[in-house]
Amino acid sequence: MKLSKEQLGLGLRGFAMGMADIVPGVSGGTVALITGVYDRLITSISSVNKEFIKKVLNLDVKGALLHLNAPFLIPLVCGIFLAILSMSRVMHFMMGNYSIQTWSLFFGLILASIVFVGKTVENIFTSKHLALVAVGTAVGYAIVSLIPVETPESLPFLFFSGCIAICAMILPGISGSFILLILGKYLYVTSALKNPFSTDSITIIIIFASGCLVGLLSFSKLLNYLLKNFHNYTMCVLTGFMIGSMKKIWPWKEVIESKVIRGKTHVLREANILPVEFNSEVFFALSLMIIGIILVLLLEKISTKK
């Protein structure tokens, strides 16, 4: 089966979203905004309603797929899952061994994205719009400043974690992976994904995925309503979320407090610092920031032409 240019492009966008969602601190929703598919994504997800269910029950498969905007959604979702399955180990390796360089690239991407998203708001420099940006910034900053906690491993709490994490994944600036880390379920879920065919892992994955599905369907309807009826106000808040999340993405950090949980060290508190000296590592990291900014500018130019 030969893929069209549009399907391939959607698959690549999904792949980029999946890679972003793997990293605690970076949101796939941000990538969706950069690549110009955010509104369509939210609209497609929120179209799972009574009419869609009615078509499914009547075995009207073609009608159900068209109602869901499947030609758009399927390539995008396939790209997301392909990235999660194929790049999880790579991204974990990069974060463990080249964290400063990896964070630097993402910092450049998010920095340019803030400007890109802010430009979608008409007259963003009005007092009302700036106030909403400030509120979004404060909320985003508060979320990324939360300390990871130990939580119960009960199935209801796992379901709840899925609901909350998926909401964060489709919000620009707030990482679903980071929310899982705060809720103490990041390692719990990723460990199950690494060994998905054991009995315990299958239960964990099903319950977590069910929570994600419920959270996604309910929250997407709210987002779709806000984007259609209060687009400028919503984009102001989302811009603020992205600004607030920059604290988490800053590459140079100093660990203040950490704790070993299940044999792995988890950072509880850390402080952003400036590089001690300007050496080749710092120069390379700054170069990656600039590359990240250029990538977003290129994506903006391409989407503008289209």
Return the top range by mean pLDDT from 74-88, 147-161, 208-222: 208-222
pLDDT surpassing 80 at residue 132: yes
265's enclosing H/E stretch is strand 264-272
Please state the rounded mean pLDDT for residues 54-61: 86
pLDDT for 256-266, tens place per residue?
877 665 566 66
Q: What is the mean pLDDT of the chain?
A: 84
Greater model confidence, 143 or 193: 143
What is the largest distance, in Å, between two alpha-carbon atoms of the chain? 67
Half-sphere exposure of 50 (CA within 13 A, CB side): 0
pLDDT value at position 32? 85
Please state the rounded mean pLDDT for residues 178-183: 81
pLDDT for 236-258, tens place per residue?
998 998 898 888 889 998 888 77
Please state the rounded mean pLDDT for residues 81-107: 82
pLDDT value at position 306? 56
Greater model confidence, 246 or 93: 246
User: Quick one: tokens of 177?
Assistant: 């992976």
- Domain segments of the chain as ranges: 5-87+96-305
pLDDT value at position 136? 92
- Give Rg (Cα) of the chain: 20
Contact 240, 132 (CB under 8 A): yes
pLDDT value at position 233? 93
pLDDT value at position 207? 93
